Amino acid sequence: MIPAQFDYVEATSVADAIRLLAEHGDEAKLLAGGHSLIPLMKLRLVTPATLIDVTHIKELSYIKEDGNNIVIGALTRHRDVELSELVKKHLPLVAHVAGEVGDPQVRNRGTIGGSLVHGDPAADLPAAALATGATMVVVGQNGERRIAAQDFFIDFLETAVQPGEILTAIEFPKHTNAGWAYEKFVRRAMDYAIVGVALQLGSQPGVALVNMSNKPHLAESASQAIAKGAAISDVLAVINNNTNPPEDLNATVEYRQHLARVLTQRAFATASK
Amino acid sequence: MSLVGARVLRKEDPNLITGNGQYVDDLQPAGCTSMVFVRSTEAHAKIRSIDTAEALALPGVLAVWTSANIAQLANCPGGLPGLDQPLLAKDVVRFVGEGVAVVVATDRYIAADAAELIVVDYEPLPAVASLSAAMAPGAVVLHEVLGGNTVHFQDFENPLDEVFAAAPRTASLHIVNNRCAPTPIEPNVCLADWGRSGLTLWAAFQAPHHLRNTIAQYFGIPQDSTRVVAPDVGGGFGAKINFVPEFFLTALLSKEIGKPVKYTQTRSECLVAMLHGRAQEHDASVAFDNDGRILALKLTVTQDQGAYPNGTGMGLPVLTTAMAAGCYRIPAVAISWRNVVTNTTPVAAYRGAGRPEASYTIERLIDLIADETGVDPVEVRRRNFIPVDAFPYATHSPLAMYDSGNFAGALDELLKHVNYEELKKEQEKRRQDPAAKLLGIGFASWLEIAGFGPPGSLEAFGHLASWESAQVRIQPDGSAIIFTGASPHGQGTVTTYAQIAADELGIDFDRISVKHGDTAVVPQGIGTMGSRAVAVGGEGVKTASGRVYENAKRIAAHLLEASAEDIVIEDEKFFVKGTPARSVPWSEVAWKSFQPLELPGGMEPGALDSTVFQQVPNFSFPSGAYCCVVEIDRETGAVNIVNMYLVDDCGTVINPLLVEGQVHGGVAQGIAQALYEHMLYDPSGVPRTSTLMDYLVPAASDLPGYITGRINTPNPSNTLGAKGVGESGSVGAPPAVVNAVVDALSHLGVKHIDMPVTPIKVWNILEGAK
Ligand SMILES: Cc1cc2nc3c(=O)[nH]c(=O)nc-3n(C[C@H](O)[C@H](O)[C@H](O)COP(=O)(O)OP(=O)(O)OC[C@H]3O[C@@H](n4cnc5c(N)ncnc54)[C@H](O)[C@@H]3O)c2cc1C
């Protein structure tokens, strides 16, 4: 609960952040909303020598329409995503999921970029990014890289963002007027999901699972089945393919897989309403 | 207009809700330093060595202590001789979280850094982290002097074998009452300043005089220069009446380094170092006839004491077994209990302390009898209630002499709110519809023992006495200050006492303040625990106010040249009954009470100042009837509370708003125990729920709305008629919730589910029934 000593610097722009990352090296961490990083620091599970505060980079906090995409700046707070009319219209799944993160305090601090880069398999927004087929825009000293969501999440708390890089934006293809649902199973309203299912229907469907693997999990076989117009029972039959759910006080592997099926079925019922 | 019974807003709130409360951690005296613990990461181990060199070398570090630095000192007070916890572990650690070393530094960050540099070399020993492990043959022994892990065993006086053998029916349950961590919002915090004028200890505590007495005794210093202050305290729930090593260590270290030393527990520490509650297992049997009439009850309580038993913890099974029969007339009751040590955090009082365990088991048994006989659970309760005309009612226990109650009345009142017959039909309908959620209806007619207590009762727990002090002092301007030894920490006592005093004194509520929590300000005191603040302390306020008022009347009569018997008061004006035109205001009476020339013959200045050590002849017995309605998701096993109906009988209500607040909070903690909270250890004694991510304290959004009702059977042991209500909710809610869950699943043959009722537990049951 008492973090180790660290230095603090403020980045004023993306270029400045990249310069500071290069200057401070491996021991530095970007600080966005701090709602994943600071708890780890307080438990001394993470002890960065320097925090580079990027929250003052105004240019990274926005939501805009760009042709067939909605682009969200990495530092946009969950609460702004939740309430955005643009997101609600074209990406209702993403707006809804943003509103399911933690509690209002958390949503007013946490950023979409921070949630994605943290790469927690139990987090909500990574599943929304996977189900909607988002693309991450990452900038480093060698310029910009664009990474599809399904290639972005590598392992437990590990993403494709390399040391020295910063996630600047997330491009979501529009899913206007398409069915969607998010089913989050929790014991307390403010908790991380025991299991979650993000379902996007429409022309580019996808289904992603929360807390069912060592990383945010795109249910590929199920997504393909949905794309082919398979019956729900066929989707359910493959929903747990390639999952690797954790066991903890709340759930066994068997129970999680059962929940994944139940929640997927419910997601279909909700999405088609 | 009488203020007793009025919905008055709390005097405490303006400060607390605008962030102007003053908690110990807010205090920052000049030169204040910070103490941080190194706590054991092992459940049971020998300490081979502790290397403090690097920590001591860190700039800003003022002291690093291990048990070697305090070898001559006695162990932490409150424990059992020979089994008590050292201030810092000596040679052996016995639970994860036990203090091994402390660091004092100029600030908390340096102290934490230094603590991390201390290297403790442990030689792990086998650990016993559950009652069954501790009692298994050949189990490792925690305290050699005991020769085993049983601290104390009280056998049945008569195991009632013949009654059970002859009974038409019998049933038994093994019940686990889950270990809970009290988790007040403010953890343990203290600040010691031991200077030339003596020792001052600010502590988040429920009983400052108790701590003052103990700490002075411990150090052999006079009480005139030992001061304990409990300023605003952010909840205690019983966990803040225990003596913990930090009080003594901060004091000693302050003396050593000549500066104030503060200790602020972290949330993670709080979960393992603040004493836990409940942690009992029950073996319960009932004998009954085919109509559901109980013939006999037999209960063995096995209490997990954690690693170091203490006086309060040892008292828990005594209270549980005393209240074993609940509100029922049971012809034969046999009780037995056993206290066992394990390699876990020590156990002591937690909201309800022994009584929630009792009501849970008897109320589970009542439903079991209903299930076995086919008699409706409500009817089983009615058939066995102690009738209203049977009081005073002597139970199997000399502790529990029930003085009043109306159990059928509370249940009647409850059923006015609950549409029971409709709910039963709905339940049946849903059972037939596989797509519908299952419905369960659970009742609890609960009874507890509170208002601690008659002379001798708290003494048994190491307190000075069982009275509560109240001083009522009129200021020269006619405002009043009440000093109370009850040390409220969230209850709203400042408001209720002002209400009581306003009625007795005829002084405006806004001109009455209540002071508490400082041994240099309040003459003497016992503290707030065992739902005693109003039943004992409030009665004291009434008594002292009454005495002051009598003297005030005499002064007024003297000034009005009338007789005191004829004096009445209205709007802070004294006058002769029937002639309000000629009056003397309270302010004048107060002013003149200090002027010898103005006083009636024989009266001394200072007559409007009265101190009372209020005694009560008996405990109080709050009771009530609760009903919980749950829905169960057949696919996920999730339990959702649809409705919670609560009828309390706490006797006279001083302030309905505060009674509701206490009931809501207690019920929240009861629901928490029933559905969410469980302090769990793995077999090696490592806590599995050591953060609030795993130890699930529910928030407002997880709790239902409550429908509250009330009946009033006045407490005959005080003139207020109030019984206390602080713990009621935590006594009544767990059985209501679990009875509802079991009811929802009863068609599957389910007889019992241990708390907390988690989704996975229910899902496993539903799967098993397929
Ligand atoms: C009480 C509580 C409850 C919560 N409940 C939930 C929940 O129910 N569901 C859920 O999904 N989450 C939950 N969270 C986590 C929350 O959503 C976090 O806000 C989010 O995961 C991280 O976002 P952040 O902006 O706070 O990132 P930070 O904590 O600041 O950073 C997280 C990590 O990402 C890195 N980082 C941040 N921004 C960038 C960037 N632009 N480029 C590169 N690296 C970056 C940081 O260096 C760090 O390693 C909860 C958190 C708390 C404290």
pLDDT tens digits for range B700-732: 999 999 999 999 999 999 999 999 999 999 999
- Residue B712's pLDDT is 97
Q: Which of A2, A183, A254 to mutate to test the interface with B (most CBs of B within 10 A)?
A: A2
Pocket mutation for ligand 1, best pick of A42, A51, A118 (most atoms within 8 Å of C-beta): A118
DSSP string, A184-237: EE-SSTTSPPSEEEEEE-SSS-EEEEESSSSS-EE-HHHHHHHHTT--HHHHHH
Separation of alpha carbons B589 and B744, rounded Å: 65
Distance A217 CA to ligand 1 centre (A): 18
Q: Which helix (H) or strand (E) holds B590?
A: helix B586-592
- Domain termination site, one of B614, B639, B659: B614
Contacts of B676 in chain A (CB under 8 A): 187-188
Residue B152 lies in a domain: no
pLDDT tens digits along B151-206 = 999 999 999 999 999 999 999 999 999 999 999 999 999 999 999 899 999 999 99
Residue A1 pLDDT more than 90? no
Alpha carbon of B605 to ligand 1 centroid (Å): 67
Per the structure block, which two tokens stand in for B213?
């007495």
The whole-angstrom distance between B763's CA and the closest CA on chain A is: 8
What pLDDT does B708 receive? Answer: 92
Please judge whether B267 and A1 are an interchain contact, meaning their C-beta atoms are less than 8 angstroms apart.
yes
- Give A 114-173 residues with CB within 8 A of chain B: none
Q: Is the N-terminal amide bond of B392 cis, ω within 30° of 0?
A: yes
Give chain B's mean pLDDT.
97
Ligand 1 atom with minimal separation from the A126 CA: 11
B45 is in which domain, residue-wise?
13-125+185-235+240-273
Of all protein residues, whose CA lies closest to atom 36 belonging to ligand 1?
A114
The reply to whether B631 and B742 lie within a common domain is yes
Which domains are present in chain A? 7-52 (3.30.43.10), 61-173 (3.30.465.10), 180-271 (3.30.390.50)
Q: What percent of chain A has pLDDT over 90?
A: 99
Rounded to the nearest whole angstrom, what is the distance from the C-alpha of residue A37 to the centroid of ligand 1? 7
Is B268 in contact with A4 (Cβ distance < 8 A)? Answer: no
A256: closest CA of chain B, how far (Å) = 10
Cis peptide before B540 (omega within 30 of 0): no
Query: Tokens 């398979």 appear where?
Result: A230
Task: Provide the shortest C-alpha distance from residue B693 to chain A (in Å).
Answer: 8
CB contact under 8 A, B689 and A249: yes
pLDDT of residue B252: 98
Q: State whether B553 and B659 are in the same domain.
A: no
Of A1, A4, A262, the CB nearest to B266: A1
Beta bridge partner(s), residue B200: B193, B227
- C-alpha B291/C-alpha B365 separation (Å) is 15
Is B666 within a domain? yes
For B212, other C-beta atoms within 10 Å of its C-beta total: 25
Is A260 strand, coil or helix?
helix
Is residue A44 less than 8 Å (CB to CB) from chain B?
A: yes
Same domain, B47 and B193: yes
Q: Which of residues 244-303 of B touch A (CB under 8 A)?
A: 266-269
Q: Which of A115, A162, A165, A186 to mutate to test the pocket of ligand 1 (most atoms within 8 A of CB)?
A: A115
Q: Give the CB-side neighbour count of residue A179, counting CA atoms within 13 A.
A: 14
pLDDT given at position B139: 98
Residues B220 and B336 both lie in one domain: no
Question: Encoding tokens for residue B609?
Answer: 């100042």
Inter-chain CB proximity B113 and A5 less than 8 Å? yes
Is residue B148 in a domain?
A: no
pLDDT at A273 over 80: no
Contacts with B36 from chain A: Cβ below 8 Å: 2
State the pLDDT confidence band at B770, using cuts at 50, 70 and 90: confident
Q: What is the rounded CA–CA span in Å between residue B101 and residue B120?
A: 9
pTM for this predicted structure = 0.97
Index of the ligand 1 atom closest to the CA of residue A124: 11
Determine contact: A38 vs chain B, CB below 8 A. Answer: no
Nearest CA in chain B to A4: B113
Flag whether residue B342 sits within 8 Å of chain A, measured between CB atoms.
no
B444 and B488, same domain (yes or no): no
Residue B396 and residue B318 share a domain? yes
Mutate to test the interface with A, among B760, B765, B767 (most CBs of A within 10 A): B760
Q: Which of A6, A35, A53, A116 to mutate to test the pocket of ligand 1 (most atoms within 8 A of CB)?
A: A35
Whether B701 and A262 lie within 8 Å, measured CB to CB: no
Residues of A in contact with B696 (CB under 8 A): 187-188, 191
pLDDT of residue B317: 98
Contact list in A for residue B701 (CB cut-off 8 A) is: 103, 188-190
Is B5 in contact with B654 (CB distance < 8 Å)? yes
Among B564, B588, B614, where does a domain finish?
B614
In a domain, B3, yes or no: no
Tell if the CB–CB gap between B702 and A1 is shorter than 8 Å.
no
**B736 alpha carbon – ligand 1 mean position (Å):** 39
End of a domain among B614, B639, B671?
Answer: B614
B768 CB within 8 Å of a chain A CB: no
**Residue B724, min C-alpha distance to chain A (Å):** 31
Contacts 24+ apart (CB under 8 A), B400-404: B400/B322, B400/B323, B400/B449, B400/B619, B400/B621, B401/B618, B402/B447, B402/B621, B403/B618, B403/B620, B403/B621, B403/B715, B403/B716, B403/B717, B404/B621, B404/B713, B404/B714, B404/B715, B404/B716
Residue nearest (by alpha carbon) to ligand 1 atom 5: A102
The sign of the CA dihedral B728, B732, B734, B740 is negative
B153 lies in a domain? Answer: no
User: Count of alpha carbons within 13 Å of B172, Cβ hemisphere only?
Assistant: 9
Q: What is the dihedral of CA A104, B734, B206, B464, to 10 degrees?
A: 180
What CATH number is associated with residue B357?
3.30.365.10
What is the sign of the dihedral through the CA atoms of B501, B506, B509 and B510?
negative
Name the band, by pLDDT with cuts 50, 70 and 90, for residue B660. very high
A268 touches chain B (CB under 8 A): no
What is residue B372's predicted lDDT score, i.e. its pLDDT?
97
Cα separations in angstroms, A231 against A132, A158, A268: 20, 34, 11
Q: In whole angstroms, give the CA distance from residue A150 to residue A45.
A: 28
Ligand 1: which of A16, A21, A30 to mutate, most ligand atoms within 8 Å of CB? A30
pLDDT in tens, B117-140: 999 999 999 999 999 999 999 999
Residue-wise pLDDT tens digits, B402-446? 999 999 999 999 999 999 999 999 999 999 999 999 999 999 999
B54 falls in which pLDDT band (50, 70, 90)? very high
CA B23 to each of CA B26, B294, B449: distance values in angstroms, whole numbers, following the listed order? 5, 50, 31
Q: Does B112 touch chain A (CB under 8 A)?
A: yes
- SS3 of B50-119: EECHHHHHCCCEEEEEEHHHHCCCCCCCCECCCCCCCCCCCCEECCCCCEEEEEEECCHHHHHHHHHHCE
B302 in the same domain as B252 = no
CATH no. for residue B59? 3.90.1170.50
Residue B102 tokens read as 């402390």
Chain B residue at shortest CA distance from A184: B636
- Asked, for residue B345, whether it belongs to a domain, the answer is yes
Q: Do the Cβ atoms of A188 and B759 come within 8 Å?
A: no
Query: Which residues 213-252 of A have a C-beta within 8 angstroms of B?
Result: 249-252
Q: Are residues B558 and B653 in the same domain?
A: no
Look at phi and psi of residue B651 and say left if phi exceeds 0, alpha if psi is from -120 to 50, else beta: left
Are B564 and B664 within one domain? Answer: no
Residue B462: strand pairing partners: none
Atom of ligand 1 nearest to the CA of A168: 41
Selecting from B113, B688, B699 the residue whose C-beta is nearest the C-beta of A4 gives B113
Q: Is there a domain that residue B548 lies in?
A: yes
B598 touches chain A (CB under 8 A): no
Say if B169 falls within a structural domain: no
Instruction: Report which ligand 1 atom has the smallest distance to the Cα of A39.
Output: 53
Instruction: Judge whether A43 is closer than 8 Å to chain B, CB to CB.
Output: yes
Is A253 touching B (CB cutoff 8 A)? no
Same domain, B20 and B94: yes
pLDDT band per the 50, 70, 90 thresholds, residue B294: very high
pLDDT single digits (tens) B593-609: 999 999 999 999 999 99
Q: Which residues line the pocket of ligand 1, CB cutoff 6 A? A: A 29-37, 39, 74, 101-102, 106, 110-111, 113-115, 117-118, 123-125, 161, 166-167, 190, 192
> Tokens for B698?
């529910």
Tell me: pLDDT of B620 over 80: yes
Q: What is the 3-state secondary structure (H, E, C) of B636-689?
A: CCCEEEEEEEEEEECECCCCHHHHHHHHHHHHHHHHHHHHHCCCCECCCCCECC
B518 with B373, same domain: the answer is no
Domains: count for chain B: 3
Amino acid letter, B282: H
A261 touches chain B (CB under 8 A): no
Task: Kindly tell me if the per-residue pLDDT of A158 is higher than 80.
Answer: yes
Q: Quick one: B204 and B345 in the same domain?
A: no
Contacts of A120 in chain B (CB under 8 A): none
What's the A271 CA to ligand 1 centre distance in angstroms? 28
Decide if A45 touches B, using CB distance below 8 A.
Answer: no
The pLDDT score that the predictor gives to residue A272 is 78
Q: How confident is the model at residue A93 (pLDDT cuts 50, 70, 90)?
A: very high
